[in-house]
Amino acid sequence: MKEGNQGEAVYKADRVKQEVLEKLKVLGARIVNDLKKERWPSVELPQRTTKNIVYDDSLRQYVLGSKRAVRTLSNIRHVRPFAQMVWLMKFAKQLIESGKTSTLRDAYYVALGENVDFEDQDESDDIILELESVLGNPREDFNVFPEERASIYGDLVIEYTILGFRGNRIDLSTHPDGYAIGPALTTAEFVRCGAEMVFVIEKGAVFSRFVEERADKKFKALLIHTAGQSPRNCRKLIRRIKEELNLPIYVFTDADPYGVHIASVLIHGSALSAHIKQINVPDAIWAGVYATDITKYKLPAMRFTEMDEKRLSELLEDPRYQTDPWKREVKYFEKLKRKAELEAFSKYGLEFIVKDFLPERLAELQKR
Protein backbone atom coordinates (compact mmCIF):
# COMPACT_ATOMS: atom_id res chain seq x y z
CA MET A 1 0.00 0.00 0.00
CA LYS A 2 1.11 3.47 -0.78
CA GLU A 3 2.36 5.78 1.92
CA GLY A 4 3.63 9.35 1.98
CA ASN A 5 2.52 12.47 0.21
CA GLN A 6 1.59 12.74 -3.42
CA GLY A 7 4.22 15.17 -4.67
CA GLU A 8 7.21 12.85 -4.40
CA ALA A 9 5.39 9.61 -5.11
CA VAL A 10 7.44 6.93 -6.79
CA TYR A 11 4.83 4.45 -7.91
CA LYS A 12 5.31 0.72 -8.19
CA ALA A 13 3.83 0.90 -11.69
CA ASP A 14 6.62 3.33 -12.64
CA ARG A 15 9.30 0.99 -11.28
CA VAL A 16 7.94 -1.93 -13.31
CA LYS A 17 7.93 0.15 -16.47
CA GLN A 18 11.47 1.35 -15.81
CA GLU A 19 12.58 -2.27 -15.45
CA VAL A 20 10.95 -3.21 -18.76
CA LEU A 21 12.55 -0.19 -20.41
CA GLU A 22 15.94 -1.31 -19.09
CA LYS A 23 15.42 -4.84 -20.42
CA LEU A 24 14.42 -3.44 -23.83
CA LYS A 25 17.53 -1.26 -23.89
CA VAL A 26 19.80 -4.18 -23.01
CA LEU A 27 18.22 -6.33 -25.74
CA GLY A 28 18.52 -3.50 -28.27
CA ALA A 29 22.10 -2.67 -27.34
CA ARG A 30 23.08 -6.32 -27.79
CA ILE A 31 21.61 -6.40 -31.29
CA VAL A 32 23.35 -3.15 -32.24
CA ASN A 33 26.61 -4.40 -30.77
CA ASP A 34 26.40 -7.68 -32.72
CA LEU A 35 25.78 -5.76 -35.92
CA LYS A 36 28.74 -3.45 -35.28
CA LYS A 37 31.00 -6.43 -34.69
CA GLU A 38 29.57 -8.08 -37.83
CA ARG A 39 28.07 -10.96 -35.87
CA TRP A 40 24.57 -12.31 -36.55
CA PRO A 41 22.24 -10.87 -33.89
CA SER A 42 20.17 -13.43 -32.05
CA VAL A 43 17.63 -13.68 -29.25
CA GLU A 44 16.78 -16.57 -26.96
CA LEU A 45 13.16 -17.60 -26.56
CA PRO A 46 11.62 -20.08 -24.14
CA GLN A 47 9.65 -22.69 -26.08
CA ARG A 48 5.95 -22.00 -25.62
CA THR A 49 4.65 -25.50 -26.28
CA THR A 50 2.42 -27.64 -24.06
CA LYS A 51 5.36 -30.09 -23.78
CA ASN A 52 7.44 -27.36 -22.15
CA ILE A 53 4.95 -26.51 -19.39
CA VAL A 54 5.80 -27.59 -15.84
CA TYR A 55 4.30 -26.89 -12.46
CA ASP A 56 6.49 -24.69 -10.28
CA ASP A 57 5.91 -25.60 -6.63
CA SER A 58 7.35 -22.43 -5.19
CA LEU A 59 5.46 -20.13 -7.56
CA ARG A 60 2.42 -22.42 -7.42
CA GLN A 61 1.65 -21.93 -11.09
CA TYR A 62 2.42 -23.55 -14.43
CA VAL A 63 5.56 -22.10 -15.99
CA LEU A 64 7.59 -22.79 -19.09
CA GLY A 65 10.33 -25.39 -18.71
CA SER A 66 13.97 -25.01 -19.62
CA LYS A 67 13.68 -25.69 -23.36
CA ARG A 68 14.80 -22.67 -25.28
CA ALA A 69 15.11 -21.78 -28.93
CA VAL A 70 17.55 -19.36 -30.51
CA ARG A 71 16.26 -16.97 -33.14
CA THR A 72 19.08 -15.66 -35.30
CA LEU A 73 19.34 -13.42 -38.32
CA SER A 74 21.74 -15.96 -39.84
CA ASN A 75 18.73 -18.19 -40.53
CA ILE A 76 16.69 -16.82 -43.43
CA ARG A 77 13.46 -18.23 -41.97
CA HIS A 78 14.08 -16.25 -38.79
CA VAL A 79 14.55 -12.88 -40.48
CA ARG A 80 10.86 -12.02 -40.66
CA PRO A 81 9.88 -12.76 -37.02
CA PHE A 82 13.17 -11.25 -35.83
CA ALA A 83 12.43 -7.97 -37.63
CA GLN A 84 8.85 -8.01 -36.36
CA MET A 85 10.04 -8.39 -32.78
CA VAL A 86 12.58 -5.59 -33.12
CA TRP A 87 9.77 -3.34 -34.37
CA LEU A 88 7.59 -4.40 -31.45
CA MET A 89 10.42 -3.61 -29.02
CA LYS A 90 10.56 -0.11 -30.47
CA PHE A 91 6.76 0.22 -30.21
CA ALA A 92 6.81 -0.99 -26.58
CA LYS A 93 9.54 1.53 -25.76
CA GLN A 94 7.50 4.34 -27.32
CA LEU A 95 4.39 3.30 -25.37
CA ILE A 96 6.22 3.33 -22.05
CA GLU A 97 8.05 6.59 -22.75
CA SER A 98 4.91 8.41 -23.90
CA GLY A 99 2.72 6.89 -21.18
CA LYS A 100 0.24 5.81 -23.85
CA THR A 101 -1.62 2.50 -23.84
CA SER A 102 -2.57 0.19 -26.66
CA THR A 103 -4.34 -3.10 -27.34
CA LEU A 104 -3.23 -6.17 -29.30
CA ARG A 105 -5.38 -4.91 -32.19
CA ASP A 106 -4.02 -1.35 -32.08
CA ALA A 107 -0.49 -2.72 -32.18
CA TYR A 108 -1.36 -4.66 -35.35
CA TYR A 109 -2.73 -1.57 -37.10
CA VAL A 110 0.15 0.66 -36.02
CA ALA A 111 2.51 -1.95 -37.50
CA LEU A 112 0.59 -1.90 -40.79
CA GLY A 113 0.83 1.88 -40.88
CA GLU A 114 4.61 1.68 -40.40
CA ASN A 115 4.87 -0.89 -43.18
CA VAL A 116 5.84 -3.73 -40.89
CA ASP A 117 4.47 -6.79 -42.56
CA PHE A 118 2.09 -8.93 -40.51
CA GLU A 119 -0.12 -11.41 -42.35
CA ASP A 120 -2.96 -10.77 -39.90
CA GLN A 121 -3.53 -9.92 -36.25
CA ASP A 122 -2.83 -13.52 -35.21
CA GLU A 123 0.74 -13.06 -36.37
CA SER A 124 1.26 -9.81 -34.45
CA ASP A 125 -0.45 -11.26 -31.36
CA ASP A 126 2.02 -14.10 -31.49
CA ILE A 127 5.04 -11.81 -31.63
CA ILE A 128 3.65 -9.92 -28.64
CA LEU A 129 3.42 -13.23 -26.72
CA GLU A 130 7.03 -13.89 -27.72
CA LEU A 131 8.19 -10.52 -26.46
CA GLU A 132 6.40 -11.24 -23.18
CA SER A 133 8.33 -14.49 -22.87
CA VAL A 134 11.66 -12.81 -23.72
CA LEU A 135 11.09 -10.02 -21.18
CA GLY A 136 9.38 -12.22 -18.61
CA ASN A 137 6.77 -9.46 -18.24
CA PRO A 138 3.10 -9.45 -19.20
CA ARG A 139 2.24 -7.06 -22.02
CA GLU A 140 0.36 -4.82 -19.57
CA ASP A 141 3.82 -3.89 -18.25
CA PHE A 142 4.60 -2.34 -21.64
CA ASN A 143 1.13 -0.75 -21.82
CA VAL A 144 -0.70 -3.24 -24.04
CA PHE A 145 -4.08 -3.82 -22.33
CA PRO A 146 -6.99 -6.15 -23.05
CA GLU A 147 -10.18 -4.69 -24.50
CA GLU A 148 -12.37 -6.57 -22.02
CA ARG A 149 -13.39 -4.82 -18.86
CA ALA A 150 -13.90 -6.40 -15.48
CA SER A 151 -15.21 -4.09 -12.75
CA ILE A 152 -14.80 -3.52 -9.02
CA TYR A 153 -16.74 -2.07 -6.12
CA GLY A 154 -16.03 -1.66 -2.42
CA ASP A 155 -14.20 0.03 0.41
CA LEU A 156 -10.88 0.75 -1.27
CA VAL A 157 -9.29 4.10 -2.06
CA ILE A 158 -6.88 4.13 -4.98
CA GLU A 159 -4.43 6.65 -6.40
CA TYR A 160 -3.86 6.84 -10.16
CA THR A 161 -0.38 6.71 -11.67
CA ILE A 162 -1.28 7.31 -15.32
CA LEU A 163 -0.74 10.56 -17.17
CA GLY A 164 -3.41 13.19 -16.66
CA PHE A 165 -4.69 11.54 -13.47
CA ARG A 166 -1.42 11.04 -11.55
CA GLY A 167 -1.90 11.56 -7.85
CA ASN A 168 -5.74 11.74 -8.07
CA ARG A 169 -7.55 9.52 -5.63
CA ILE A 170 -10.92 7.82 -5.82
CA ASP A 171 -13.03 5.85 -3.38
CA LEU A 172 -14.29 2.65 -5.06
CA SER A 173 -17.36 2.48 -2.82
CA THR A 174 -19.04 5.51 -4.34
CA HIS A 175 -20.50 3.99 -7.54
CA PRO A 176 -22.58 0.87 -6.85
CA ASP A 177 -22.68 -0.31 -10.50
CA GLY A 178 -18.90 -0.71 -10.36
CA TYR A 179 -15.76 0.85 -11.77
CA ALA A 180 -14.38 -0.51 -15.03
CA ILE A 181 -10.91 -2.07 -14.61
CA GLY A 182 -8.95 -0.52 -17.47
CA PRO A 183 -5.41 0.85 -17.74
CA ALA A 184 -5.97 3.47 -15.00
CA LEU A 185 -7.25 1.08 -12.35
CA THR A 186 -4.76 -1.66 -13.23
CA THR A 187 -1.81 0.63 -12.55
CA ALA A 188 -3.27 2.47 -9.56
CA GLU A 189 -1.78 2.29 -6.07
CA PHE A 190 -3.84 1.16 -3.11
CA VAL A 191 -4.08 3.97 -0.57
CA ARG A 192 -6.59 2.82 2.03
CA CYS A 193 -8.66 -0.33 2.36
CA GLY A 194 -11.48 -1.04 4.79
CA ALA A 195 -12.35 -4.41 3.27
CA GLU A 196 -11.37 -7.73 4.83
CA MET A 197 -12.02 -10.14 1.97
CA VAL A 198 -12.68 -10.20 -1.77
CA PHE A 199 -15.54 -11.84 -3.67
CA VAL A 200 -14.71 -12.48 -7.32
CA ILE A 201 -17.89 -13.06 -9.32
CA GLU A 202 -18.31 -14.41 -12.86
CA LYS A 203 -21.71 -12.88 -13.58
CA GLY A 204 -22.78 -9.22 -13.82
CA ALA A 205 -26.26 -9.93 -12.49
CA VAL A 206 -24.84 -11.61 -9.39
CA PHE A 207 -22.36 -8.77 -8.86
CA SER A 208 -25.37 -6.40 -8.86
CA ARG A 209 -27.20 -8.73 -6.49
CA PHE A 210 -24.22 -8.70 -4.07
CA VAL A 211 -24.15 -4.89 -4.17
CA GLU A 212 -27.90 -4.64 -3.69
CA GLU A 213 -27.90 -7.05 -0.74
CA ARG A 214 -24.92 -5.13 0.68
CA ALA A 215 -22.54 -8.09 0.70
CA ASP A 216 -19.78 -5.45 0.68
CA LYS A 217 -20.96 -4.14 4.06
CA LYS A 218 -22.13 -7.42 5.65
CA PHE A 219 -18.84 -9.21 4.90
CA LYS A 220 -16.55 -6.17 4.54
CA ALA A 221 -15.84 -7.41 1.04
CA LEU A 222 -14.50 -5.94 -2.16
CA LEU A 223 -16.63 -7.15 -5.10
CA ILE A 224 -15.02 -7.90 -8.45
CA HIS A 225 -17.01 -8.78 -11.56
CA THR A 226 -14.91 -10.66 -14.13
CA ALA A 227 -17.56 -10.80 -16.89
CA GLY A 228 -16.80 -14.43 -17.67
CA GLN A 229 -13.16 -15.46 -17.95
CA SER A 230 -11.20 -12.83 -16.04
CA PRO A 231 -9.03 -10.65 -18.27
CA ARG A 232 -5.32 -10.84 -17.44
CA ASN A 233 -5.13 -7.34 -16.01
CA CYS A 234 -7.99 -8.25 -13.68
CA ARG A 235 -6.12 -11.38 -12.51
CA LYS A 236 -3.06 -9.23 -11.89
CA LEU A 237 -5.11 -6.71 -9.91
CA ILE A 238 -6.57 -9.50 -7.75
CA ARG A 239 -3.06 -10.81 -7.16
CA ARG A 240 -1.92 -7.37 -6.07
CA ILE A 241 -4.88 -7.12 -3.68
CA LYS A 242 -3.82 -10.48 -2.22
CA GLU A 243 -0.15 -9.52 -1.94
CA GLU A 244 -0.37 -5.90 -0.92
CA LEU A 245 -3.52 -5.97 1.22
CA ASN A 246 -3.35 -9.62 2.29
CA LEU A 247 -7.08 -10.25 1.85
CA PRO A 248 -8.58 -13.72 1.32
CA ILE A 249 -10.03 -14.09 -2.18
CA TYR A 250 -13.20 -16.14 -2.78
CA VAL A 251 -14.18 -17.02 -6.33
CA PHE A 252 -17.79 -17.63 -7.40
CA THR A 253 -18.61 -19.14 -10.79
CA ASP A 254 -21.49 -20.99 -12.42
CA ALA A 255 -21.66 -24.70 -11.63
CA ASP A 256 -20.58 -25.93 -15.06
CA PRO A 257 -17.29 -27.04 -16.65
CA TYR A 258 -16.63 -23.55 -17.99
CA GLY A 259 -17.14 -22.04 -14.52
CA VAL A 260 -14.64 -24.53 -13.08
CA HIS A 261 -12.18 -23.49 -15.78
CA ILE A 262 -12.70 -19.77 -15.03
CA ALA A 263 -11.92 -20.33 -11.33
CA SER A 264 -8.95 -22.53 -12.16
CA VAL A 265 -7.34 -20.09 -14.60
CA LEU A 266 -7.51 -17.36 -11.97
CA ILE A 267 -5.99 -19.64 -9.33
CA HIS A 268 -3.55 -21.90 -11.25
CA GLY A 269 -2.82 -19.78 -14.29
CA SER A 270 -3.55 -20.67 -17.91
CA ALA A 271 -1.45 -22.76 -20.26
CA LEU A 272 -1.53 -19.81 -22.66
CA SER A 273 0.06 -17.56 -20.03
CA ALA A 274 2.60 -20.08 -18.69
CA HIS A 275 5.36 -17.87 -20.13
CA ILE A 276 4.39 -15.06 -17.74
CA LYS A 277 4.93 -15.37 -14.04
CA GLN A 278 2.65 -14.12 -11.33
CA ILE A 279 -0.56 -13.11 -12.97
CA ASN A 280 -2.41 -15.98 -11.26
CA VAL A 281 -3.61 -15.98 -7.64
CA PRO A 282 -2.61 -19.32 -6.06
CA ASP A 283 -4.11 -18.44 -2.68
CA ALA A 284 -7.54 -17.62 -4.08
CA ILE A 285 -10.25 -20.06 -3.01
CA TRP A 286 -12.88 -21.46 -5.34
CA ALA A 287 -16.07 -21.03 -3.32
CA GLY A 288 -18.70 -22.46 -5.66
CA VAL A 289 -21.15 -22.99 -7.17
CA TYR A 290 -19.97 -26.62 -6.85
CA ALA A 291 -21.51 -29.54 -8.69
CA THR A 292 -22.34 -30.94 -5.24
CA ASP A 293 -24.22 -27.71 -4.47
CA ILE A 294 -26.71 -28.59 -7.19
CA THR A 295 -27.77 -31.58 -5.10
CA LYS A 296 -27.21 -29.98 -1.69
CA TYR A 297 -29.29 -26.87 -2.45
CA LYS A 298 -31.66 -28.62 -4.90
CA LEU A 299 -30.79 -26.00 -7.51
CA PRO A 300 -32.67 -25.88 -10.81
CA ALA A 301 -30.24 -27.56 -13.20
CA MET A 302 -29.95 -28.03 -16.94
CA ARG A 303 -28.66 -30.99 -18.87
CA PHE A 304 -25.07 -30.79 -20.17
CA THR A 305 -24.71 -29.71 -23.78
CA GLU A 306 -22.22 -31.43 -26.07
CA MET A 307 -19.85 -28.53 -25.42
CA ASP A 308 -20.14 -29.11 -21.65
CA GLU A 309 -19.36 -32.82 -22.14
CA LYS A 310 -16.32 -31.96 -24.22
CA ARG A 311 -15.04 -29.43 -21.69
CA LEU A 312 -15.60 -31.84 -18.82
CA SER A 313 -13.61 -34.57 -20.55
CA GLU A 314 -10.73 -32.08 -20.93
CA LEU A 315 -10.93 -31.20 -17.23
CA LEU A 316 -10.85 -34.89 -16.28
CA GLU A 317 -7.44 -35.22 -17.95
CA ASP A 318 -5.96 -31.89 -16.83
CA PRO A 319 -3.32 -32.10 -14.05
CA ARG A 320 -4.79 -29.01 -12.39
CA TYR A 321 -7.90 -30.95 -11.35
CA GLN A 322 -6.33 -33.87 -9.51
CA THR A 323 -6.79 -32.48 -5.98
CA ASP A 324 -9.93 -31.55 -4.02
CA PRO A 325 -12.20 -29.65 -4.29
CA TRP A 326 -11.46 -29.77 -8.04
CA LYS A 327 -11.24 -33.54 -8.31
CA ARG A 328 -14.32 -34.17 -6.20
CA GLU A 329 -16.42 -31.66 -8.13
CA VAL A 330 -15.25 -32.69 -11.58
CA LYS A 331 -16.05 -36.31 -10.70
CA TYR A 332 -19.47 -35.25 -9.44
CA PHE A 333 -20.14 -33.39 -12.67
CA GLU A 334 -19.23 -36.57 -14.54
CA LYS A 335 -21.91 -38.42 -12.61
CA LEU A 336 -24.53 -35.67 -12.60
CA LYS A 337 -24.16 -34.41 -16.18
CA ARG A 338 -26.13 -31.33 -15.16
CA LYS A 339 -25.19 -27.72 -14.55
CA ALA A 340 -26.58 -24.74 -12.64
CA GLU A 341 -26.07 -21.01 -12.73
CA LEU A 342 -25.15 -18.66 -9.88
CA GLU A 343 -28.57 -17.06 -10.33
CA ALA A 344 -30.24 -20.40 -9.57
CA PHE A 345 -30.18 -19.51 -5.85
CA SER A 346 -32.89 -16.95 -6.68
CA LYS A 347 -35.21 -19.95 -6.50
CA TYR A 348 -35.16 -19.25 -2.76
CA GLY A 349 -35.73 -15.52 -3.24
CA LEU A 350 -33.40 -12.74 -4.31
CA GLU A 351 -31.86 -12.37 -0.82
CA PHE A 352 -30.90 -16.04 -0.37
CA ILE A 353 -27.48 -16.03 -2.05
CA VAL A 354 -26.12 -13.28 0.22
CA LYS A 355 -28.19 -13.92 3.35
CA ASP A 356 -27.93 -17.73 3.50
CA PHE A 357 -25.57 -19.27 0.97
CA LEU A 358 -22.64 -16.88 1.49
CA PRO A 359 -22.32 -17.21 5.29
CA GLU A 360 -22.75 -21.00 5.07
CA ARG A 361 -20.06 -21.33 2.41
CA LEU A 362 -17.61 -19.00 4.16
CA ALA A 363 -18.06 -20.90 7.43
CA GLU A 364 -17.32 -24.21 5.64
CA LEU A 365 -14.22 -22.81 3.93
CA GLN A 366 -12.87 -21.13 7.03
CA LYS A 367 -13.24 -24.35 9.04
CA ARG A 368 -10.76 -26.17 6.83
Cα–Cα distance, 53 to 177 (Å, whole number):
39
Identified binder of a copy of itself from the candidate list 350, 359, 360, 364, rule CB under 8 A: 350
Q: Is 7 one of the binding residues for a copy of itself (CB under 8 A)?
A: no
Q: Is 178 one of the binding residues for a copy of itself (CB under 8 A)?
A: yes
Identified binder of a copy of itself from the candidate list 19, 34, 56, 106, rule CB under 8 A: 106
> Residues binding a copy of itself: what is the number (CB under 8 A)?
51
Q: Which is nearer to a copy of itself, 22 or 147 (CB)?
A: 147
Q: Is 109 a catalytic residue?
A: yes
Identified binder of a copy of itself from the candidate list 29, 180, 272, 307, rule CB under 8 A: 180
Q: Is 175 one of the binding residues for a copy of itself (CB under 8 A)?
A: yes
> Of these residues, 11, 55, 108, 109, which one is catalytic?
109
Which range of residues in 28-36, 37-45, 142-150, 263-271 is near a copy of itself by CB under 8 A? 142-150
Q: What is the 3-state secondary structure (H, E, C) of the chain?
A: CCCCCCCCCCCHHHHHHHHHHHHHHHHHHHHHHHHHCCCCCEEEEECCCHHHEEEECCCCEEEECCCEEEEECCCHHHHHHHHHHHHHHHHHHHHHHHCCCECHHHHHHHHHHCCCCCCCHHHHHHHHHHHHHHHCCCHHHHCECCCCCEEEECCEEEECCCCCCCCCEEECCCCCCCEEECHHHHCCEEEEECCCEEEEECCHHHHHHHHHCCHHHHCCEEEEECCCCCCHHHHHHHHHHHHHHCCCEEEECCECHHHHHHHHHHHHCCHHHCCCCCCCCCCCEEEECCHHHHHHCCCCCEECCHHHHHHHHHHHHCHHHCCCCHHHHHHHHHHHCEEECHHHHHHHCCCHHHHHHHHHHHHHHHHC
Q: Which residues, at least 6 apart from 118, have a Cβ–Cβ distance to it below 8 Å?
A: 84, 108, 111, 112, 124, 127
Q: Is 160 one of the binding residues for a copy of itself (CB under 8 A)?
A: yes
Identified binder of a copy of itself from the candidate list 2, 17, 149, 320, rule CB under 8 A: 149
Q: Is 238 one of the binding residues for a copy of itself (CB under 8 A)?
A: no
Q: Is 280 one of the binding residues for a copy of itself (CB under 8 A)?
A: no
Q: Which is nearer to a copy of itself, 332 or 348 (CB)?
A: 348
Q: Which is nearer to a copy of itself, 20 or 184 (CB)?
A: 184
Walk across the sheet containing 169-171 and list its strands: 169-171, 156-159, 189-193
Q: Is 112 one of the binding residues for a copy of itself (CB under 8 A)?
A: yes
Are 287 and 197 a contacting pair, CB within 8 Å?
Answer: no
Q: Which is nearer to a copy of itself, 214 or 296 (CB)?
A: 214
Pattern 314-343, a copy of itself, x by CB under 8 A: ---------------------------x-x
Identified binder of a copy of itself from the candidate list 84, 133, 151, 264, rule CB under 8 A: 151
Q: Is 109 one of the binding residues for a copy of itself (CB under 8 A)?
A: yes
Q: Is 295 one of the binding residues for a copy of itself (CB under 8 A)?
A: no
Q: Is 102 one of the binding residues for a copy of itself (CB under 8 A)?
A: yes
Identified binder of a copy of itself from the candidate list 2, 20, 48, 101, rule CB under 8 A: 101
Residues acting as catalytic residues: 109
Give the binding site for a copy of itself (CB under 8 A): 100-103, 105-106, 109-110, 112-113, 145, 147-149, 151, 160, 162, 164-165, 168, 170, 174-185, 203-205, 208-209, 212, 214, 227, 300, 341, 343-350
